[in-house]
Chains A and B, each alone.
Chain A
Protein backbone atom coordinates (compact mmCIF):
# COMPACT_ATOMS: atom_id res chain seq x y z
CA UNK A 1 0.00 0.00 0.00
CA UNK A 2 1.73 3.08 -1.25
CA UNK A 3 0.68 6.60 -0.43
CA UNK A 4 2.25 9.67 -2.04
CA UNK A 5 3.58 12.34 0.31
CA UNK A 6 4.21 16.00 -0.18
CA UNK A 7 7.94 15.93 -0.88
CA UNK A 8 7.51 13.78 -3.95
CA UNK A 9 8.86 10.54 -2.53
CA UNK A 10 6.41 7.77 -1.91
CA UNK A 11 5.64 6.62 1.58
CA UNK A 12 5.03 3.07 2.65
CA UNK A 13 2.68 1.85 5.32
CA UNK A 14 4.06 1.04 8.74
CA UNK A 15 4.52 -2.64 7.94
CA UNK A 16 7.24 -1.87 5.40
CA UNK A 17 10.44 -1.44 7.33
CA UNK A 18 13.46 0.38 6.05
CA UNK A 19 16.83 -1.08 5.18
CA UNK A 20 18.35 -3.37 7.82
CA UNK A 21 20.54 -1.70 10.42
CA UNK A 22 18.64 1.55 10.37
CA UNK A 23 16.22 2.54 13.13
CA UNK A 24 12.68 3.48 12.16
CA UNK A 25 13.24 7.15 12.91
CA UNK A 26 16.31 7.15 10.68
CA UNK A 27 14.45 5.98 7.62
CA UNK A 28 13.26 8.14 4.83
CA UNK A 29 9.84 7.49 3.45
CA UNK A 30 10.25 5.39 0.36
CA UNK A 31 8.75 3.17 -2.28
CA UNK A 32 8.57 -0.49 -1.44
CA UNK A 33 10.54 -1.75 -4.39
CA UNK A 34 13.28 -0.76 -6.82
CA UNK A 35 16.43 1.22 -6.28
CA UNK A 36 14.75 3.82 -4.09
CA UNK A 37 12.87 1.26 -2.03
CA UNK A 38 15.99 -0.80 -1.52
CA UNK A 39 17.99 2.36 -0.77
CA UNK A 40 20.55 1.53 -3.46
CA UNK A 41 23.88 3.29 -3.54
CA UNK A 42 22.84 5.72 -6.25
CA UNK A 43 19.49 5.77 -8.04
CA UNK A 44 20.06 7.62 -11.32
CA UNK A 45 16.40 7.68 -12.30
CA UNK A 46 15.37 9.18 -9.01
CA UNK A 47 18.20 11.71 -9.21
CA UNK A 48 17.19 12.75 -12.74
CA UNK A 49 13.52 13.07 -11.78
CA UNK A 50 14.15 14.95 -8.54
CA UNK A 51 17.10 17.13 -9.36
CA UNK A 52 14.99 20.26 -9.32
CA UNK A 53 14.53 19.97 -5.57
CA UNK A 54 18.22 20.75 -5.07
CA UNK A 55 18.31 23.90 -7.21
CA UNK A 56 16.78 26.23 -4.63
CA UNK A 57 18.89 24.94 -1.71
CA UNK A 58 22.01 25.10 -3.92
CA UNK A 59 21.60 28.81 -4.63
CA UNK A 60 20.62 29.48 -1.03
CA UNK A 61 23.83 27.70 -0.01
CA UNK A 62 25.79 29.88 -2.42
CA UNK A 63 24.14 32.96 -0.94
CA UNK A 64 25.01 31.94 2.65
CA UNK A 65 28.63 31.24 1.67
CA UNK A 66 29.00 34.45 -0.33
CA UNK A 67 27.67 36.68 2.45
CA UNK A 68 29.74 34.90 5.12
CA UNK A 69 33.02 34.95 3.20
CA UNK A 70 32.66 38.53 1.98
CA UNK A 71 31.80 39.75 5.49
CA UNK A 72 34.59 37.73 7.08
CA UNK A 73 37.08 38.85 4.45
CA UNK A 74 36.23 42.53 4.93
CA UNK A 75 36.51 42.32 8.72
CA UNK A 76 39.71 40.25 8.70
CA UNK A 77 41.36 42.53 6.14
CA UNK A 78 40.45 45.64 8.12
CA UNK A 79 41.76 44.06 11.33
CA UNK A 80 44.99 43.02 9.61
CA UNK A 81 45.61 46.48 8.13
CA UNK A 82 45.02 48.02 11.57
CA UNK A 83 47.24 45.46 13.28
CA UNK A 84 50.00 45.96 10.76
CA UNK A 85 50.25 49.55 11.93
CA UNK A 86 49.57 48.83 15.59
CA UNK A 87 51.39 45.60 16.42
CA UNK A 88 49.95 45.55 19.96
CA UNK A 89 46.62 44.50 18.41
CA UNK A 90 48.02 41.23 17.05
CA UNK A 91 47.89 39.01 20.18
CA UNK A 92 44.36 40.02 21.27
CA UNK A 93 42.95 39.69 17.74
CA UNK A 94 44.62 36.29 17.24
CA UNK A 95 43.33 35.20 20.65
CA UNK A 96 39.76 36.37 20.01
CA UNK A 97 39.53 34.88 16.51
CA UNK A 98 41.05 31.66 17.88
CA UNK A 99 38.36 31.41 20.55
CA UNK A 100 35.63 31.99 17.93
CA UNK A 101 37.17 29.27 15.77
CA UNK A 102 37.04 26.79 18.64
CA UNK A 103 33.27 27.08 19.16
CA UNK A 104 31.65 24.15 17.31
CA UNK A 105 29.30 25.43 14.62
CA UNK A 106 26.24 23.61 15.92
CA UNK A 107 26.77 25.09 19.38
CA UNK A 108 27.47 28.52 17.87
CA UNK A 109 24.15 28.50 15.97
CA UNK A 110 22.13 27.56 19.02
CA UNK A 111 23.95 30.02 21.28
CA UNK A 112 22.90 32.75 18.86
CA UNK A 113 19.28 31.61 18.67
CA UNK A 114 18.09 33.60 21.70
CA UNK A 115 19.76 36.69 20.23
CA UNK A 116 19.19 36.54 16.47
CA UNK A 117 16.47 33.90 16.15
CA UNK A 118 16.12 31.37 13.33
CA UNK A 119 17.31 32.66 9.98
CA UNK A 120 20.14 33.87 7.80
CA UNK A 121 21.92 35.99 10.43
CA UNK A 122 22.27 33.08 12.85
CA UNK A 123 24.03 31.07 10.14
CA UNK A 124 26.14 33.86 8.69
CA UNK A 125 27.61 35.16 11.97
CA UNK A 126 29.40 31.90 12.95
CA UNK A 127 30.41 31.12 9.36
CA UNK A 128 32.02 34.52 8.87
CA UNK A 129 33.58 34.31 12.34
CA UNK A 130 35.34 31.08 11.32
CA UNK A 131 36.96 32.77 8.30
CA UNK A 132 38.52 35.57 10.37
CA UNK A 133 41.59 33.83 11.76
CA UNK A 134 42.95 32.28 8.56
CA UNK A 135 42.47 35.44 6.49
CA UNK A 136 43.79 37.71 9.25
CA UNK A 137 46.85 35.54 9.87
CA UNK A 138 47.68 35.18 6.18
CA UNK A 139 47.23 38.89 5.50
CA UNK A 140 49.65 39.75 8.31
CA UNK A 141 52.21 37.31 6.90
CA UNK A 142 51.73 38.76 3.42
CA UNK A 143 52.19 42.32 4.63
CA UNK A 144 55.31 41.33 6.58
CA UNK A 145 56.78 39.76 3.44
CA UNK A 146 56.46 42.90 1.31
CA UNK A 147 60.00 43.84 0.17
CA UNK A 148 61.22 46.99 1.94
CA UNK A 149 62.49 48.26 -1.43
CA UNK A 150 58.96 48.37 -2.79
CA UNK A 151 57.81 50.40 0.22
CA UNK A 152 60.79 52.75 -0.12
CA UNK A 153 59.99 53.25 -3.79
CA UNK A 154 56.38 54.09 -2.91
CA UNK A 155 57.43 56.51 -0.19
CA UNK A 156 59.97 58.04 -2.59
CA UNK A 157 57.15 58.68 -5.04
CA UNK A 158 55.45 60.70 -2.32
CA UNK A 159 52.74 58.19 -1.38
CA UNK A 160 50.89 58.69 1.88
CA UNK A 161 50.68 55.81 4.37
CA UNK A 162 47.19 54.91 3.09
CA UNK A 163 48.24 55.01 -0.55
CA UNK A 164 51.23 52.84 0.28
CA UNK A 165 48.97 50.30 1.98
CA UNK A 166 46.33 50.05 -0.75
CA UNK A 167 48.54 50.49 -3.82
CA UNK A 168 51.79 48.79 -2.83
CA UNK A 169 51.60 46.66 0.31
CA UNK A 170 48.23 44.94 -0.10
CA UNK A 171 48.70 44.13 -3.82
CA UNK A 172 52.12 42.63 -3.05
CA UNK A 173 50.61 40.69 -0.14
CA UNK A 174 47.84 39.38 -2.41
CA UNK A 175 49.20 35.81 -2.84
CA UNK A 176 49.14 35.15 0.92
CA UNK A 177 45.81 36.94 1.36
CA UNK A 178 44.28 34.90 -1.46
CA UNK A 179 45.72 31.67 -0.05
CA UNK A 180 43.85 32.42 3.19
CA UNK A 181 40.71 33.37 1.29
CA UNK A 182 40.78 30.07 -0.61
CA UNK A 183 40.97 28.01 2.58
CA UNK A 184 38.20 30.11 4.16
CA UNK A 185 35.93 29.79 1.10
CA UNK A 186 36.31 26.04 0.72
CA UNK A 187 35.75 25.32 4.41
CA UNK A 188 32.77 27.68 4.56
CA UNK A 189 31.05 25.80 1.72
CA UNK A 190 31.44 22.57 3.70
CA UNK A 191 30.37 23.97 7.09
CA UNK A 192 27.38 25.75 5.52
CA UNK A 193 25.73 22.33 5.13
CA UNK A 194 24.88 22.80 8.83
CA UNK A 195 23.22 26.18 8.25
CA UNK A 196 19.81 24.47 8.10
CA UNK A 197 20.12 23.97 11.87
CA UNK A 198 20.10 27.75 12.20
CA UNK A 199 16.98 27.89 10.04
CA UNK A 200 18.86 29.33 7.08
CA UNK A 201 18.38 26.45 4.63
CA UNK A 202 21.07 25.57 2.11
CA UNK A 203 22.08 22.12 0.90
CA UNK A 204 21.88 20.72 4.44
CA UNK A 205 18.08 21.09 4.27
CA UNK A 206 17.38 18.43 1.61
CA UNK A 207 20.17 16.33 3.13
CA UNK A 208 18.47 16.31 6.52
CA UNK A 209 14.97 15.79 5.17
CA UNK A 210 15.92 12.31 3.91
CA UNK A 211 18.98 11.60 5.95
CA UNK A 212 19.04 7.85 5.44
CA UNK A 213 18.61 7.93 1.65
CA UNK A 214 22.01 7.27 0.05
CA UNK A 215 21.20 8.86 -3.32
CA UNK A 216 20.20 12.03 -1.51
CA UNK A 217 23.35 12.06 0.63
CA UNK A 218 25.57 11.54 -2.41
CA UNK A 219 23.84 14.26 -4.44
CA UNK A 220 24.25 16.77 -1.62
CA UNK A 221 27.86 15.71 -1.01
CA UNK A 222 28.77 16.02 -4.68
CA UNK A 223 26.98 19.37 -5.08
CA UNK A 224 28.74 20.74 -2.00
CA UNK A 225 32.19 19.62 -3.13
CA UNK A 226 31.48 20.92 -6.65
CA UNK A 227 30.52 24.31 -5.24
CA UNK A 228 33.72 24.39 -3.16
CA UNK A 229 35.87 23.60 -6.21
CA UNK A 230 33.99 26.11 -8.35
CA UNK A 231 34.39 28.95 -5.84
CA UNK A 232 38.04 28.00 -5.33
CA UNK A 233 38.57 28.30 -9.08
CA UNK A 234 36.91 31.71 -9.12
CA UNK A 235 39.20 32.95 -6.34
CA UNK A 236 42.26 31.64 -8.21
CA UNK A 237 41.14 33.35 -11.41
CA UNK A 238 40.50 36.55 -9.46
CA UNK A 239 44.04 36.36 -8.15
CA UNK A 240 45.44 36.11 -11.70
CA UNK A 241 43.31 39.08 -12.64
CA UNK A 242 44.37 41.35 -9.77
CA UNK A 243 48.06 40.39 -9.81
CA UNK A 244 48.94 40.53 -13.53
CA UNK A 245 52.62 41.20 -12.75
CA UNK A 246 53.05 37.67 -11.39
CA UNK A 247 52.27 36.21 -14.81
CA UNK A 248 54.70 38.58 -16.52
CA UNK A 249 57.63 37.22 -14.53
CA UNK A 250 60.06 35.12 -16.55
CA UNK A 251 60.34 31.44 -15.68
Chain B
Protein backbone atom coordinates (compact mmCIF):
# COMPACT_ATOMS: atom_id res chain seq x y z
CA UNK B 1 0.00 0.00 0.00
CA UNK B 2 2.91 2.32 0.75
CA UNK B 3 4.23 1.62 -2.75
CA UNK B 4 0.89 2.48 -4.29
CA UNK B 5 0.79 5.72 -2.30
CA UNK B 6 4.28 6.60 -3.57
CA UNK B 7 3.24 6.02 -7.15
CA UNK B 8 0.14 8.14 -6.61
CA UNK B 9 2.25 10.89 -5.04
CA UNK B 10 4.66 10.98 -7.92
CA UNK B 11 1.84 11.45 -10.43
CA UNK B 12 0.23 14.12 -8.26
CA UNK B 13 3.63 15.83 -8.13
CA UNK B 14 3.96 15.58 -11.89
CA UNK B 15 0.58 17.19 -12.49
CA UNK B 16 1.50 19.90 -10.01
CA UNK B 17 4.65 20.51 -12.08
CA UNK B 18 2.54 20.83 -15.23
CA UNK B 19 0.07 23.27 -13.64
CA UNK B 20 2.20 25.39 -11.29
CA UNK B 21 5.70 26.82 -11.40
CA UNK B 22 8.17 26.10 -8.62
CA UNK B 23 11.81 26.66 -7.77
CA UNK B 24 14.27 24.44 -9.68
CA UNK B 25 15.99 21.65 -7.76
CA UNK B 26 19.25 23.48 -8.43
CA UNK B 27 17.75 26.57 -6.83
CA UNK B 28 17.11 30.02 -8.23
CA UNK B 29 15.12 29.80 -11.44
CA UNK B 30 11.42 29.07 -11.54
CA UNK B 31 10.48 25.96 -13.51
CA UNK B 32 7.21 24.20 -14.30
CA UNK B 33 3.76 25.49 -15.10
CA UNK B 34 2.07 25.78 -18.50
CA UNK B 35 3.93 28.92 -19.55
CA UNK B 36 7.26 27.22 -18.83
CA UNK B 37 6.44 23.94 -20.56
CA UNK B 38 4.77 25.42 -23.66
CA UNK B 39 7.99 26.54 -25.46
CA UNK B 40 9.38 22.99 -25.21
CA UNK B 41 6.13 21.55 -26.53
CA UNK B 42 6.04 24.15 -29.30
CA UNK B 43 9.57 23.32 -30.45
CA UNK B 44 8.71 19.63 -30.52
CA UNK B 45 5.48 20.27 -32.45
CA UNK B 46 7.25 22.62 -34.87
CA UNK B 47 10.11 20.29 -35.69
CA UNK B 48 7.62 17.42 -36.06
CA UNK B 49 5.39 19.45 -38.38
CA UNK B 50 8.33 20.49 -40.57
CA UNK B 51 9.56 16.88 -40.69
CA UNK B 52 6.11 15.51 -41.54
CA UNK B 53 5.63 18.16 -44.22
CA UNK B 54 8.96 17.25 -45.79
CA UNK B 55 8.26 13.53 -45.64
CA UNK B 56 4.86 14.11 -47.26
CA UNK B 57 6.32 16.28 -50.01
CA UNK B 58 8.79 13.52 -50.93
CA UNK B 59 6.96 10.26 -50.26
CA UNK B 60 3.41 11.11 -51.30
CA UNK B 61 4.08 11.99 -54.97
CA UNK B 62 6.43 9.02 -55.40
CA UNK B 63 3.87 6.67 -53.84
CA UNK B 64 1.02 8.09 -55.94
CA UNK B 65 2.90 7.78 -59.22
CA UNK B 66 4.39 4.34 -58.52
CA UNK B 67 1.02 3.12 -57.28
CA UNK B 68 -0.77 4.52 -60.32
CA UNK B 69 1.72 2.88 -62.68
CA UNK B 70 1.84 -0.30 -60.61
CA UNK B 71 5.62 -0.21 -60.78
CA UNK B 72 8.31 -0.46 -58.13
CA UNK B 73 6.37 -2.62 -55.69
CA UNK B 74 9.58 -4.20 -54.46
CA UNK B 75 11.02 -0.75 -53.74
CA UNK B 76 7.90 0.78 -52.21
CA UNK B 77 7.02 -2.13 -49.94
CA UNK B 78 10.60 -3.18 -49.22
CA UNK B 79 11.47 0.38 -48.22
CA UNK B 80 8.69 0.31 -45.65
CA UNK B 81 9.87 -2.99 -44.22
CA UNK B 82 13.50 -1.93 -44.14
CA UNK B 83 12.53 1.36 -42.48
CA UNK B 84 11.23 -0.50 -39.45
CA UNK B 85 14.66 -2.00 -38.76
CA UNK B 86 16.44 1.36 -38.62
CA UNK B 87 17.04 2.60 -35.06
CA UNK B 88 15.62 6.13 -35.11
CA UNK B 89 17.91 7.43 -32.38
CA UNK B 90 20.97 6.46 -34.45
CA UNK B 91 19.61 8.35 -37.47
CA UNK B 92 19.05 11.48 -35.39
CA UNK B 93 22.53 11.28 -33.83
CA UNK B 94 24.26 10.52 -37.13
CA UNK B 95 22.51 13.38 -38.85
CA UNK B 96 23.49 15.77 -36.08
CA UNK B 97 27.09 14.57 -36.26
CA UNK B 98 27.20 14.94 -40.05
CA UNK B 99 25.20 18.11 -40.58
CA UNK B 100 25.32 19.83 -37.19
CA UNK B 101 22.44 20.67 -34.92
CA UNK B 102 19.49 22.96 -35.50
CA UNK B 103 15.79 22.67 -36.15
CA UNK B 104 16.11 22.09 -39.90
CA UNK B 105 18.76 19.37 -39.57
CA UNK B 106 16.79 17.54 -36.91
CA UNK B 107 13.66 17.92 -39.02
CA UNK B 108 15.43 16.31 -41.99
CA UNK B 109 16.52 13.35 -39.84
CA UNK B 110 12.99 12.96 -38.48
CA UNK B 111 11.51 13.39 -41.95
CA UNK B 112 13.57 10.45 -43.20
CA UNK B 113 11.90 8.33 -40.52
CA UNK B 114 8.50 9.40 -41.82
CA UNK B 115 9.16 8.34 -45.42
CA UNK B 116 8.67 4.53 -45.19
CA UNK B 117 5.14 4.38 -43.74
CA UNK B 118 3.86 7.13 -46.06
CA UNK B 119 5.44 5.64 -49.19
CA UNK B 120 4.37 2.07 -48.47
CA UNK B 121 0.82 2.95 -47.46
CA UNK B 122 0.35 5.26 -50.44
CA UNK B 123 1.58 2.61 -52.84
CA UNK B 124 -0.54 -0.17 -51.31
CA UNK B 125 -3.59 2.11 -51.12
CA UNK B 126 -3.30 3.04 -54.80
CA UNK B 127 -2.99 -0.61 -55.81
CA UNK B 128 -6.06 -1.52 -53.77
CA UNK B 129 -8.28 0.94 -55.63
CA UNK B 130 -10.98 -0.90 -57.57
CA UNK B 131 -9.63 -1.38 -61.12
CA UNK B 132 -13.10 -1.00 -62.61
CA UNK B 133 -13.29 2.55 -61.22
CA UNK B 134 -9.95 3.37 -62.85
CA UNK B 135 -11.03 1.76 -66.12
CA UNK B 136 -14.27 3.75 -66.05
CA UNK B 137 -12.34 6.98 -65.45
CA UNK B 138 -10.00 6.25 -68.34
CA UNK B 139 -13.01 5.25 -70.44
CA UNK B 140 -14.66 8.65 -70.01
CA UNK B 141 -11.44 10.26 -71.23
CA UNK B 142 -9.70 11.39 -68.03
CA UNK B 143 -6.01 12.14 -68.31
CA UNK B 144 -3.57 10.14 -66.11
CA UNK B 145 -3.16 12.96 -63.57
CA UNK B 146 -6.93 13.38 -63.43
CA UNK B 147 -7.33 9.67 -62.75
CA UNK B 148 -4.76 9.91 -59.96
CA UNK B 149 -6.13 13.05 -58.30
CA UNK B 150 -9.88 12.65 -58.86
CA UNK B 151 -10.43 8.89 -58.71
CA UNK B 152 -7.55 6.98 -57.16
CA UNK B 153 -6.46 9.51 -54.52
CA UNK B 154 -9.93 9.93 -52.94
CA UNK B 155 -10.48 6.17 -52.88
CA UNK B 156 -6.98 5.55 -51.50
CA UNK B 157 -7.17 8.44 -49.00
CA UNK B 158 -8.13 6.46 -45.88
CA UNK B 159 -5.18 4.06 -46.18
CA UNK B 160 -2.81 6.89 -47.09
CA UNK B 161 -3.98 8.78 -43.99
CA UNK B 162 -3.28 5.69 -41.88
CA UNK B 163 0.33 5.82 -43.11
CA UNK B 164 0.53 9.55 -42.38
CA UNK B 165 -0.76 8.88 -38.85
CA UNK B 166 1.95 6.29 -38.25
CA UNK B 167 4.57 8.66 -39.62
CA UNK B 168 3.32 11.59 -37.53
CA UNK B 169 3.33 9.60 -34.29
CA UNK B 170 6.80 8.16 -35.02
CA UNK B 171 8.18 11.58 -35.84
CA UNK B 172 6.65 13.26 -32.80
CA UNK B 173 7.85 10.47 -30.49
CA UNK B 174 11.37 10.59 -31.89
CA UNK B 175 11.46 14.40 -31.69
CA UNK B 176 11.74 13.86 -27.92
CA UNK B 177 15.26 12.56 -28.51
CA UNK B 178 16.17 15.79 -30.32
CA UNK B 179 16.95 17.24 -26.91
CA UNK B 180 20.08 15.04 -26.88
CA UNK B 181 21.36 16.92 -29.91
CA UNK B 182 20.66 20.37 -28.59
CA UNK B 183 17.09 21.09 -29.66
CA UNK B 184 14.95 22.04 -26.65
CA UNK B 185 12.00 19.71 -27.00
CA UNK B 186 10.02 18.10 -24.19
CA UNK B 187 12.89 15.64 -23.95
CA UNK B 188 14.66 18.37 -21.99
CA UNK B 189 12.26 17.84 -19.09
CA UNK B 190 12.70 14.08 -19.19
CA UNK B 191 16.48 14.20 -19.24
CA UNK B 192 16.77 17.09 -16.80
CA UNK B 193 16.17 15.30 -13.56
CA UNK B 194 18.86 17.32 -11.76
CA UNK B 195 17.01 20.56 -12.60
CA UNK B 196 13.37 19.52 -12.71
CA UNK B 197 13.39 16.67 -10.20
CA UNK B 198 11.34 13.49 -10.48
CA UNK B 199 8.13 15.51 -10.84
CA UNK B 200 9.47 17.28 -13.91
CA UNK B 201 10.59 14.01 -15.50
CA UNK B 202 7.19 12.36 -15.11
CA UNK B 203 5.47 15.62 -16.09
CA UNK B 204 7.44 15.64 -19.35
CA UNK B 205 6.39 12.06 -20.04
CA UNK B 206 2.73 12.91 -19.35
CA UNK B 207 2.76 15.95 -21.66
CA UNK B 208 4.44 13.95 -24.46
CA UNK B 209 1.92 11.12 -24.14
CA UNK B 210 -1.04 13.53 -24.10
CA UNK B 211 0.21 15.44 -27.15
CA UNK B 212 0.80 12.16 -29.02
CA UNK B 213 -2.74 11.11 -28.18
CA UNK B 214 -4.06 14.49 -29.37
CA UNK B 215 -2.18 14.15 -32.67
CA UNK B 216 -3.54 10.63 -33.11
CA UNK B 217 -7.12 11.74 -32.44
CA UNK B 218 -6.81 14.78 -34.71
CA UNK B 219 -5.41 12.73 -37.60
CA UNK B 220 -8.03 10.02 -37.06
CA UNK B 221 -10.56 12.82 -37.51
CA UNK B 222 -8.85 13.93 -40.72
CA UNK B 223 -8.85 10.32 -41.90
CA UNK B 224 -12.60 10.15 -41.32
CA UNK B 225 -13.11 13.44 -43.17
CA UNK B 226 -11.11 12.39 -46.23
CA UNK B 227 -12.88 9.03 -46.50
CA UNK B 228 -15.33 9.41 -49.40
CA UNK B 229 -18.98 8.99 -48.45
CA UNK B 230 -19.29 6.07 -50.84
CA UNK B 231 -16.46 4.19 -49.16
CA UNK B 232 -18.03 4.75 -45.73
CA UNK B 233 -21.39 3.45 -46.98
CA UNK B 234 -19.68 0.45 -48.54
CA UNK B 235 -17.96 -0.36 -45.25
CA UNK B 236 -21.16 0.03 -43.25
CA UNK B 237 -23.01 -2.37 -45.52
CA UNK B 238 -20.14 -4.85 -45.54
CA UNK B 239 -19.83 -5.02 -41.76
CA UNK B 240 -23.61 -5.17 -41.27
In angstroms, Cα B201 to Cα A48, docked, is 38
Q: Note all chain A residues with C-beta closer than 8 A to B180.
A: 208, 211
A-chain residues with CB within 8 Å of residue B208 when the two chains form the complex = 104, 106-107
CB distance from A207 to the nearest CB of B (A): 6
Q: A26-B96, A26-B101, A183-B84 are in contact. Are A110 and B90 (CB under 8 A)?
A: no
The answer on a CB contact under 8 Å between B209 and A190 is no
A-B contact count (CB 8 A): 133
Cβ of B216 under 8 Å from chain A: yes
Interchain CB contact (< 8 A) of B87 among A103, A213, A224? A224
Given contacts A104-B176, A110-B204, contact A212 B84 (CB under 8 A): no
| 10 A–B pairs (Cβ distance < 8 Å), ordered by A | A19-B97, A107-B208, A110-B190, A110-B202, A111-B209, A113-B202, A183-B84, A190-B88, A204-B87, A221-B91
Interface flags for A1-41 (1: CB within 8 Å of B; 0: not) read 00000000000000000011111011000000000000100
**CB < 8 Å: which of A115, A186, A214 contacts B98?**
A214
Contact yes or no, A107 B212, CB < 8 A = yes
- Least distance between B185 CB and chain A CB atoms (Å): 10
Kindly list the 7 A-B residue pairs having the minimum CB-CB distance in the complex, ordered from nearest.
A21-B100, A104-B173, A110-B205, A114-B10, A228-B85, A107-B208, A221-B90
Which residues of B are found within 8 Å of A224, using beta-carbon distances?
85-87, 90
Size of the chain A interface, CB-CB below 8 angstroms: 48
0/1 per residue, A200-226, Cβ < 8 Å to B?
A: 000110011001111001101100110
| Complex Cα gap A185–B142 (Å) | 44
Select from chain B the residue with minimum beta-carbon distance to A23.
B182
Q: Does B6 contact A (CB under 8 A)?
A: yes
Q: A110-B204, A193-B88 are in contact. List 18 more A-B contacts (CB 8 A).
A: A21-B100, A22-B97, A26-B101, A26-B182, A102-B213, A104-B209, A106-B173, A106-B190, A111-B209, A114-B11, A194-B177, A203-B87, A211-B181, A213-B97, A217-B93, A221-B87, A224-B87, A225-B85
